[in-house]
């Protein structure tokens, strides 16, 4: 399941995030690459482990926690600390698959990358190219969103970023381990949750059908979730 979520960052949050990262040091994006990615990746990345990365990452994490749609779709158990990248002057990231396991710097924590997430931090009309292209059995899905919007997609997907030929593409990216590992089960839970919220708004939370469906949702989550 690929999912677009609009307005994750408010205008104030977006401005503050850009203020932090635009003033910080940027380095070769291969600083955090695996072997395959290193062969395909040409971009800049915010210096890993620095104050700017931590401050901007905390801002992103707080915004995600305030976004019910993100929580419902991802059911996050572990979230890799957000990273930030920048593309310009023809830079791109060729076709690749994200590493299955990511170690968090300075800790013993490891995150299984069930889902990948990109938060767009530059308006799409300020740069040419820079589409995130995600491949599945239906073909290619091209994503280029408004600043403050995000896309969530399976980390197992082959994906790439097309060359940026004008301006700068700036974004935040990270991976997460979901409580529900299976993509199909997670999508079913998300669709059921959305249906419950719609029905609850129409009938009220005390409606017997809403209660029955809510019970079903939590019992399925109980069966499928790891915590």
pLDDT at 33 over 60: no
**Coil, helix or strand at residue 225:** coil
| CA separation for the pair 172, 116 (Å, rounded) | 11
Tell how far CA 137 is from the center of its chain.
Answer: 21
Nearest to 72 by CA among 193, 218, 219: 193
Rounded percentage of the chain residues whose pLDDT exceeds 90? 91
- CATH T-level assignment (fold) for domain 3-178: Jelly Rolls (2.60.120)
pLDDT at 34 over 70: no
Q: Give tens-digit pLDDT for 162-209.
A: 999 999 999 999 999 999 999 999 999 999 999 999 999 999 999 999
Give pairs for 9-15: CB < 8 Å, separation 24+: 9/60, 9/63, 9/119, 9/121, 9/147, 9/148, 10/63, 10/148, 11/148, 13/59, 13/63, 13/148, 14/121, 14/147, 14/148
Say if 3-178 and 183-224 have the same CATH topology.
Answer: no
Report yes or no: 16 and 148 within 8 Å, Cβ to Cβ. Answer: no
pLDDT value for 31: 66
CATH architecture of 183-224: Irregular (4.10)
Nearest to 116 by CA among 42, 173, 161: 173
| Domain range summary for the chain, segments of one domain joined by + | 3-178, 183-224
pLDDT at 38 over 90: no
Nearest to 185 by CA among 226, 155, 135: 226
Average pLDDT, the chain: 95
């Amino acid at each position: 399941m690929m999912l677009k979520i609009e307005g994750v960052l408010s205008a104030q949050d977006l401005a503050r995030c850009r203020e932090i990262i635009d003033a910080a040091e940027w380095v070769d994006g291969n600083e955090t690459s695996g072997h395959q990615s290193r062969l395909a990746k040409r971009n800049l990345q915010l210096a890993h482990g620095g104050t700017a990365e931590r401050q901007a990452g905390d801002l992103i994490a707080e915004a995600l926690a305030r976004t019910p749609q993100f929580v419902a779709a991802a059911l996050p158990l572990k979230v890799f600390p957000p990273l930030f990248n920048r593309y310009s002057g023809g830079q791109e990231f060729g076709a690749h698959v994200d590493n299955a396991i990511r170690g968090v710097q300075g800790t013993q924590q490891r995150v299984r990358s069930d889902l990948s997430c990109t938060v767009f931090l530059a308006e799409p009309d300020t740069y040419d190219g820079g589409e995130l292209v995600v491949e599945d059995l239906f073909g290619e899905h091209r994503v280029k969103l408004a600043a403050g919007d995000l896309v969530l997609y399976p980390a197992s997907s082959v994906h790439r970023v097309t060359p940026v030929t004008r301006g700068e593409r700036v974004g935040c990216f990270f991976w997460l381990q979901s409580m529900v590992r299976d993509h199909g089960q997670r999508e079913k839970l998300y669709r059921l949750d959305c249906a419950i919220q719609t029905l609850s708004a129409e009938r009220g939370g005390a409606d017997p059908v809403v209660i029955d469906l809510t019970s079903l949702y939590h019992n399925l989550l109980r069966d499928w979730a790891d915590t």
